[in-house]
A and B are shown apart, each in its own frame.
Chain A
């Protein structure tokens, strides 16, 4: 009882420190996606390099694939790009780009300048498909399984760490 009046405030203070320290580690920009383990939203978009050819969600059923949201106006995409190009050389899975709220000419020029890791880029000029996928910060990366279910989402530029610790194990699991 004698020590309680000292220990109690100290205890409350330490509790507060623990909460605040945990809060520092949380990133408010990382909003959990409600799409995880849900069917991927449908789309029918033309290829960036060929307005005559349409790609639909259901065309991609039966394979594990990656959707990477990018735009020529997006600075963080450029930062991520060399890593994505390097990853695409491993041919672990087809990578589709979602060219988000962009124009064809600057988009194609961007790919010509910095390399094209994509099997195809889908041209989402008005950002409608982006909204359906819950995109809010370009770049974003999704992995979709054979049944067309979204299994993984990463917001912001990919890092070597994310690829090694999250994406590659997931691919082994999905393809295994």
Chain B
């Protein structure tokens, strides 16, 4: 029983240990929080599906240090984002800016949703005008309406 309890404690502790590893030692927790917030907006180019806040790649560590240093020098968040895009391009931003080249990216999902809704409305309206026999599962379709099919 005691052993089980010990194991349980270990299991509960595990996430705490991991959390400690992720947070680097810093004197100023507020600055660290700002750094992590900016870092979580930036893509790590070595491991492209991670932010530089999550990544353990050497470059991500360097870039976190860079962000921390720039914050210590009193630079603003937008200055830091500009610094990164000047070097690595818009690709580093997890939220790319709205430009002519990214219009499709931003508007695409909305356009597709509207298209789907439009199609659905058309189908539903056409069906609502059909006589009730069209929906009779037993009736052979060809015999019903020669214009359809």
Contact = CB atoms under 8 A, between A and B. Distances in A.
Interface of A: 2, 28-29, 31-35, 41, 101, 126-127, 131-134, 136-137
Nearest to A137: B46
Contact of A127 (B48, B62, B86, B88): B62
Contacts of B149: 2
A34 B63 CA distance: 17
Given A136-B45, A137-B45, A137-B46, A34 B85 contact: yes
A136 B86 contact: no
Given A127-B62, A131-B62, A33 B89 contact: yes
A34 B46 contact: no
- Specify the main secondary structure of chain A where it touches its partner: loop
Given A131-B63, A136-B46, A137-B46, A31 B89 contact: yes
B66 interface: yes
25 contacts: A28-B48, A31-B45, A31-B88, A31-B91, A32-B89, A32-B91, A33-B89, A34-B85, A34-B86, A34-B87, A34-B88, A35-B87, A101-B58, A126-B62, A127-B58, A127-B62, A131-B62, A132-B87, A133-B87, A134-B87, A134-B88, A134-B89, A136-B45, A136-B59, A137-B46
Contacts of B48: 28-29
Q: When A and B form their complex, which 3 residue pairs have the shortest distance between CB atoms, in order from nearest?
A: A136-B45, A134-B87, A34-B89
Interface of B: 45-46, 48, 58-59, 62-63, 66, 85-91, 149
A52 B48 CA distance: 38
Contacts of B62: 126-127, 131
A15 to B, nearest CB: 13
Nearest to B61: A127
Nearest to A1: B147
B97 to A, nearest CB: 13
A28 B91 CA distance: 10
A26 B45 CA distance: 16
A4 B107 CA distance: 28
A2 to B, nearest CB: 8
A62 to B, nearest CB: 25
A56 to B, nearest CB: 19
Nearest to A5: B149
Nearest to B58: A101
Contact of A131 (B46, B87, B90): B87
Nearest to A2: B149
B67 to A, nearest CB: 11
Contacts of B89: 31-34, 134
Contacts of B59: 127, 136
